[in-house]
Amino acid sequence: MSFLKKEFKKELDKPTYVYGTQTVELNTTIRKGEKHSFKFYPSRIWSSRINWRIAITCFFTVLLIQCAIITFLLHSYEKHQLVGLKEVGRSELISMITAQNQATSKKDFPVSRAEAERLFSSSKITGISIFASNLAHLQNHGQKTTLQLQDVASGEFKNNYLSPSGATYEVVLRPDDLNRPYIAILQFDTTYIKGDVFEYVQEAVLIILLVSLFVTIVIVVSVGNFLLSPVLFMRENLLRAIENPENPKVEDSPFATNNEIGESIDLATKLIKQNAENIRRIKSAAEDKIHKLAYYDTLTNLPNRTYFLQSMVKLGHGEDGKTMGRFCVVTIDLDHFKDINDTMGYNIGDAILRAVGKRLRSSLPESAIVARIAEDEFSVAMPLTKDVTDGREIGVRISNVIKSSPFKVFTEDFQVRASVGVSTFPDDGTDVEQVLKNSDIALNRAKEEGRDLVKEYSEDFDRAVQQRFQILRNLRDALEHDQLLLHYQPQIDLRDGRIIGAEALIRWWKPDGSKEGGSFIPPIEFIPIAEQSGLIVPIGEWVLKTACESAAIIQEKGYDMRIAVNVSGAQFYQSNLIGYVENTIADSGLKPSNLELEVTESVFMDDISHAITTLRNLHGLGLELAIDDFGTGYSSLSYLRQFPIDRLKIDQSFIRNALNNPDDASIARTIIRLGHSLNLKVIAEGVETYEQQAFLSEENCDEVQGYLYAKPMSFEDFDAFIEECKGYVPDVS
């Protein structure tokens, strides 16, 4: 599994990354089919958009600057030409005026017509106006000038004037300019300047374009080499990093790092490599963690069930991987671990589990695989060798390791024992799961046979398990098809022989196609299975309902008799027990005191405070409560005082042996006294002989039940039995 998943969608150009639940779109375009290997092709530089932008900007900037310079130069060229014209005109005029004056001595006409005509033909002068220094007009030759001397008089005197078309240019030469007492206005033909300028511009444009082109090329090539190439190189590396961030095929930078760009590329390359390294590290750490979570138990750090099964497969392949390995699987369940958890709390329970795991691991060889496969279940798989050929031997060793010394948790010592099941591969199956299951079946057998035992798997166990499944299936059918019925065994007051009631005992009539049509299956064969599967709950409800209805019929006949109903542990902890009992009594019309519920001691011990509450609630309904099979469990006398019970029922084993085993007689006696001291009635069950009856009578037992008086019978027979003996059994002294 990869935490960082890259998705390049072929049809899309944008690469996206999926990091956890976030999708990040990278704002980078990768052209379809583009191979990201960097080459310094000039074409790459020329095809770069940024390069074109730089080129265009550069070209026009240089062009603009040159145009500005040329414009300025043209202006000063024109000015320079005009100044030159004025100078030429001035010197020509001075020499003409001087010559004329010397020739004619006529100061009033400084320039002769002939002179003026010669001037016009030899120079660019096209018109002359001459004024005396008092502004009186003296002469006019050639073109009429535009400048008027009145302007000079009005103070708006202009020194020169260029016509808007640029065809003529006029200048005013004053007495200071001419060194004569005249003012002259000269007009020049300037059309030739335009031609010159045009020629000049034509040449300049060509030069400007060439210069712009040259500068652009120089800049583009420089930018391309010094800037764009490194940027393109960096882009290539980044694209590769995006394509495969974990293993980017980045090239080392060929650029010198003694400048900012080279340094940046070098840093970026290092960053990409660092990032890849980080991703690899995170990924590998995540994978390690996932592996640990998937294959190890977090409490004990031992392999879990999945890993254990995989390891078993490896062991099964043998050391050389060709021959089949032989190994044993030992499954260990800590006895009464639930009690430790319930009474001491989960902290202690967890600490014990950790300690057991540690002890198992350290006491077994390296070749053994030790795993925790369920809450308080450990499994060990260990290769069988020439020295150790028997899995049972290992099972016993493990059992001893656990109970060899108590486990110290905080300051307390806990003596832990375990039930152990052993199976062998390939003797008990070639499928590892099956072998593990078989060790579990063996373990269950060890638990059933009294715990703290080591049992090796046998096919018979399997058959027993199959049988249980079959019984469960049939029992479900029986419940649905009314094959269950109740028998009633009378209970008698020992003092006067009065029938005080009966115990309802379930019977399963199982049709089998035989001559008799079927047979009764004893409750001992199916009640424990029903209890384990939870089927006891609907069965118990049916028993209660049927017993109440029967008791109500007897009640209607005028007999005040009580029917005792057995309630098993699973029913006792059923959340709606109180409500169901209350409704059932009400529906049947039975007086609540004519119903008694029998519960065994072991049921209370699972959760004493809950037991007290439930018993109080049940008692609150007005019914009676009895402790069944009293003396076989391990009731605490202090709790017994808190239970709102009416009756102790001495277990039949004590009655059976009372006459030949003084211990049992003394237990029976003690129970009777204890019951009386707590103001409880005491009933003895399993009374079969007059001697037993005499013993109980002697000991002041209150009530009796047993084959001596009547065996359990159908309701009709019970009904007839009461009628027959008018509610009293004979021979009770």
Which of 142, 245, 383, 523: binder of ligand C2E (CB under 6 A)?
A: 523
Question: Which residues are bridge partners to 170 per DSSP?
Answer: 161, 187
Residue 505 binds ligand C2E, judged by CB under 6 A: yes
DSSP for residue 498:
B
Q: Shortest Cβ distance from residue 620 to ligand C2E (Å)? A: 22
Residue 520 binds ligand C2E, judged by CB under 6 A: no
**Interactions with ligand C2E, residue window 636-665 (CB under 6 A):** 652
Of residues 351 and 682, the one with the C-beta less far from ligand C2E: 682
Compute the distance between CA of residue 624 and CA of residue 733 in angstroms, rounded to an integer: 26
Residue 489 binds ligand C2E, judged by CB under 6 A: yes
Beta strands 182-189; 327-334: pairing state:
unpaired
Of residues 170 and 598, the one with the C-beta less far from Mg ion: 598
Compute the distance between CA of residue 51 and CA of residue 660 in angstroms, rounded to an integer: 116
| Residue 697 burial (10 A CB sphere; 0-12, 13-18, 19+) | middle
DSSP for residue 551:
H
Residue 166 · residue 172 · CB < 8 Å: no
**Interactions with ligand C2E, residue window 591-610 (CB under 6 A):** 598
Residue 409 · residue 355 · CB < 8 Å: yes
Q: Shortest Cβ distance from residue 363 to ligand C2E (Å)? A: 42
Compute the distance between CA of residue 207 and CA of residue 364 in angstroms, rounded to an integer: 97
Of residues 78 and 629, the one with the C-beta less far from ligand C2E: 629
Which of 92, 628, 664, 703: binder of ligand C2E (CB under 6 A)?
A: 628
Task: Tell me what percent of the chain is helix, strand and coil, each rounded to the nearest 5.
Answer: 50, 20, 30
Strand, helix or coil at 84?
A: helix
The binder of 527, among ligand C2E, Mg ion, none, by C-beta within 5 to 8 A per type, is ligand C2E
Q: Which stretch binds ligand C2E (CB under 6 A): 48-56, 104-112, 294-302, 684-692?
A: 684-692
The binder of 524, among ligand C2E, Mg ion, none, by C-beta within 5 to 8 A per type, is ligand C2E
| Residue 545 burial (10 A CB sphere; 0-12, 13-18, 19+) | middle
Which of 58, 186, 442, 506: binder of ligand C2E (CB under 6 A)?
A: 506
Chain position carrying tokens 């045009």: 198
Which of 543, 585, 597, 668: binder of ligand C2E (CB under 6 A)?
A: 543
Of residues 139 and 491, the one with the C-beta less far from Mg ion: 491
Of residues 72 and 707, the one with the C-beta less far from ligand C2E: 707
Of residues 442 and 708, the one with the C-beta less far from ligand C2E: 708
Of residues 300 and 692, the one with the C-beta less far from ligand C2E: 692
Residue 377 binds ligand C2E, judged by CB under 6 A: no
List residues near Mg ion by CB under 5 A: 566, 598, 628-629
Q: Shortest Cβ distance from residue 505 to Mg ion (Å)? A: 7
Of residues 420 and 521, the one with the C-beta less far from Mg ion: 521
Of residues 245 and 633, the one with the C-beta less far from Mg ion: 633
Residue 584 binds ligand C2E, judged by CB under 6 A: no
Token pair of 653 as six digits: 């084993």
Compute the distance between CA of residue 87 and CA of residue 433 in angstroms, rounded to an integer: 122
Q: Shortest Cβ distance from residue 629 to Mg ion (Å)? A: 4
Which of 373, 376, 366, 393 is CA-nearest to residue 433? 373
Q: Shortest Cβ distance from residue 400 to Mg ion (Å)? A: 37
Strand, helix or coil at 345?
A: coil
Residue 707 binds ligand C2E, judged by CB under 6 A: yes
Which of 527, 627, 640, 658: binder of ligand C2E (CB under 6 A)?
A: 527
Q: Shortest Cβ distance from residue 626 to Mg ion (Å)? A: 8
Which of 319, 334, 429 is CA-nearest to residue 374? 334
How many residues lie near ligand C2E (CB under 6 A)?
23
Which of 9, 189, 179, 186 is CA-nearest to residue 81? 189
Q: Shortest Cβ distance from residue 686 to Mg ion (Å)? A: 8
Of residues 162 and 485, the one with the C-beta less far from ligand C2E: 485
Residue 161 · residue 147 · CB < 8 Å: yes
The binder of 522, among Mg ion, ligand C2E, none, by C-beta within 5 to 8 A per type, is ligand C2E
Compute the distance between CA of residue 651 and CA of residue 19 in angstroms, rounded to an integer: 69
Q: Which stretch binds ligand C2E (CB under 6 A): 70-78, 160-168, 519-527, 549-557?
A: 519-527
Which of 331, 322, 435, 340 is CA-nearest to residue 373? 331
Residue 193 binds ligand C2E, judged by CB under 6 A: no
The binder of 523, among Mg ion, ligand C2E, none, by C-beta within 5 to 8 A per type, is ligand C2E
The binder of 702, among Mg ion, ligand C2E, none, by C-beta within 5 to 8 A per type, is none
| Residue 2 burial (10 A CB sphere; 0-12, 13-18, 19+) | exposed
Of residues 110 and 631, the one with the C-beta less far from Mg ion: 631
**Interactions with ligand C2E, residue window 412-441 (CB under 6 A):** none
Token pair of 283 as six digits: 């990924």
**Span between the terminal Cα atoms of the chain, in Å:** 83
Compute the distance between CA of residue 688 and CA of residue 686 in angstroms, rounded to an integer: 6
- Apex CA 389: angle with CA 388 and CA 392, to 5°? 90
The binder of 706, among ligand C2E, Mg ion, none, by C-beta within 5 to 8 A per type, is ligand C2E
Residue 253 binds ligand C2E, judged by CB under 6 A: no
Compute the distance between CA of residue 416 and CA of residue 436 in angstroms, rounded to an integer: 23
Which of 331, 379, 439, 568: binder of ligand C2E (CB under 6 A)?
A: 568
Phi and psi angles of residue 349, each rounded to the nearest 5 degrees, phi first: -55, -45
Compute the distance between CA of residue 585 and CA of residue 727 in angstroms, rounded to an integer: 23
Helix count and strand count (H, E) for the chain: 25, 24
Residue 688 binds ligand C2E, judged by CB under 6 A: yes
DSSP for residue 406:
P
Point out which residues bind ligand C2E (CB under 6 A): 489, 505-506, 522-524, 527, 540, 543, 566, 568, 598, 628-629, 652, 685-688, 705-707, 712
